[in-house]
Amino acid sequence: MLIIILCITTVYLIYKWSISTFDYFEKQGIPYNKPLPLVGSNINTFFDRKPFIDVLHKWYNEFKNERLSGLFEFRRPAVLVKDPKLIKQLAVKDFEHFMDHRSVIDEDVDPLFGKNLIALKGNKWREIRATLSPAFTGSKMRNMMDFVSTVGHQTAEAIKKDIKSGGVNTFEFEEFASKFTIDIIASTAFGIEINSFKNPTNEFFKVAKEITNFATLKIGLKFAGYLLFPKLMKMLNVHLLDKVGCDYFENVICDTIQTREKKGIMRNDMIQLLLQAKAGKLSIETEGKNTEGFATTAESQLGKNEVKIKWDEIDLVAQCFSFFVAGFSTVAQTMSFVGYELACNPDVQQKLFKEISEMNNEINGEKISYEQIQKMKYLDAVISETLRKWPAAPVTDRICVKDYELKYDNKCIKFEANKTIMLIPIWSIHRDPKYYQNPDKFDPERFNDENKKLIDPDTYLPFGVGPRNCIGSRFALMEIKTFFYYLLLNFTIEVTEKTQIPLTFENSAFAIKPKKGIWVELKPRS
């Protein structure tokens, strides 16, 4: 009998603990998504019952006349800020109150994950961001463009040769694009050449695929564990990412760095820039007017200050690793959506090919340069529209780091330091008919010279918002544009029997993953 009483008492105490925060929004008169004990509002996301983008859109439309609403990430209150002006106020004007992303993995448990720029907090983030900002300016991208252009040309030639010799010409586009992005990362970040199209089973590519696969139940459970029981997960030394894969890349990076320093090797790539940053020799340059595309993010004034910090080797390795993770899967995913839209919209593809062909004639078939790729306005419009319709990060977050009161519409909501999260629903804002007419239509003309002036920049957030926007937007856009320049110069992209129209998505809390992939056919132009 005593055991039964103890069990009932334990269950009751766990239940009370699991709902102890659930009055947070009710006390403040803020409409909120009704939570369930322990799991909060996450039942459909963390347990793979619906695609996350569907859940996010449901949250976004739940209280249509409200500029923000509440929900719960397990026990933690999260404010879904739906109004672009409020987002700008919180993430830009009052940035000091919302400087950090929420914590997931402690750097003591997983240094590669916990020490990278995305995960860093407070002054450490500010110092690393300011130090790294000069590495991602347009001038530094120009220095790396030769590597990117070389890989783009080699990729097109390898595919053309394979198809002409009887190889397949039907591809799952994300898998296809991943080989290009990993070759770019290997070349520009690690200083090695792997050519994944000729050697698709190379270890570098294999490990990269494994380590960036976030759409698994195992990753979901680990993530949930860190949100619910961070101290226990730390005590058990549970790594979010595959440790074998992380160790592999850490060894590759360390070996490359040691070889460079020992032999005095200089190369215009990301490791060289990081080594310069570590030595305090990375110069801060004044960028002129942005001519690098509509989606390119502006760097904040944080990067203009002179910052002197002491770098440990693991700090440098973590930044190189974050460049790899961010630049591999998310860029390949964006490329796959560009490929899908071009296949489904042959008129858009033909117009883009015309621009590419004219540029190729202008440069007499030579490798395209950074300045030349930026001149191509329709190419930029196609990529900008893809990033609107299919943003790589459907939502981004901030955690309140200083107590804050937001007054709006005769209401007031209190954000508590280190407790309340702000969620920014990028996917839903980009698809809101208030901001984009007929939002489900793929229409690059939204971003032509005449129409893009009409777009409210606060409603276009493919690379995030405020000082914590994506530091690598220039590099990502350079990759994507170069890839499609060489691809369309040599092939048409067409739908096949396996192409899914319209797309439907896997039930996943961590990835926008089309069911059965995105299949296209590549037909050589000559």
How many alpha carbons fall within 13 Å on the CB side of residue 95?
14
Claim: this prediction has a pTM higher than 0.85 = yes
Q: Is the pLDDT of residue 268 over 80?
A: no
Handedness of CA 258, 259, 260, 263 (dihedral sign): positive
* 400 appears as a binding residue in the annotation: no
Residue 304 to residue 11: CA distance in whole angstroms? 54
Tell me what the mean pLDDT of segment 408-428 comes to.
Answer: 93
Q: Mind listing the pLDDT tens digit for each residue in 143-178?
A: 888 888 988 888 888 888 878 877 678 889 988 898
Res 303 pLDDT > 50: no
User: What does DSSP say about strands 421-424 and 76-81: parallel, antiparallel, or unpaired?
Assistant: parallel
The predicted-structure confidence for 56-103, as pLDDT tens digits, reads as follows 999 999 998 899 999 998 888 999 999 999 999 999 999 999 999 987
User: Rounded to whole angstroms, what are the CA distances from 526 to 149, 355, 375, 490?
Assistant: 21, 18, 26, 7
CATH number, domain of 455, equals 1.10.630.10
Structural domain total, the chain: 1
Q: Name residues whose C-beta falls within 8 Å of residue 305's C-beta, 6 or more positions apart in sequence.
A: 130
For 344, residues 6+ apart whose C-beta sits below 8 A from its C-beta are 442, 495, 499, 501
Residues 482-524: tens digit of each pLDDT? 999 999 999 999 999 999 999 998 876 566 888 889 999 999 9
pLDDT of residue 417: 93
The structure tokens listed for 397 are: 């977050």
Interior/surface letters 187-210, b for 16+ CB within 10 angstroms, e for the rest: bbbbbeebbbbeeeebebbebbbe
Nearest-10 Cα torsion for 330, 331, 332, 335: 120
Look up the domain containing 515 and give its range.
2-524
Task: Give 397's strand partners.
Answer: 423
Higher pLDDT, 295 or 520: 520
Q: Tell me the CB-side half-sphere exposure of residue 397, using CA atoms within 13 A.
A: 16
505 in helix, strand or coil?
A: strand
3-state secondary structure 371-389: HHHHCCHHHHHHHHHHHHH
Relative orientation angle of helices 377-389 and 473-490, to the nearest 10 degrees: 110
Q: Render pLDDT for 92-134 as a digit per residue (tens, 0 to 9).
A: 999 999 999 987 777 777 777 778 888 888 888 888 888 888 8
Six-digit token string for 493: 């992209």
Residue 349 CB neighbours (<10 A):
20
Beta-strand (E) ranges in 25-96?
Answer: 68-73, 76-81
Residue 290, Cα to own-chain centre: how many angstroms? Answer: 21
* Segment 45-64 mean pLDDT: 82
Residue 17's contacts (CB-CB under 8 Å, 6 or more residues apart) are none
Instruction: Look at residue 499 and give its three-state secondary structure.
Output: coil
CB 69 within 8 A of CB 80: yes
Checking if the pLDDT of 282 tops 80, the result is no
User: Rounded to the nearest 5°, which phi and psi values hold at 487?
Assistant: -65, -50
* Pairing assessment for the beta strands 491-494 and 421-424 based on DSSP bridges: unpaired
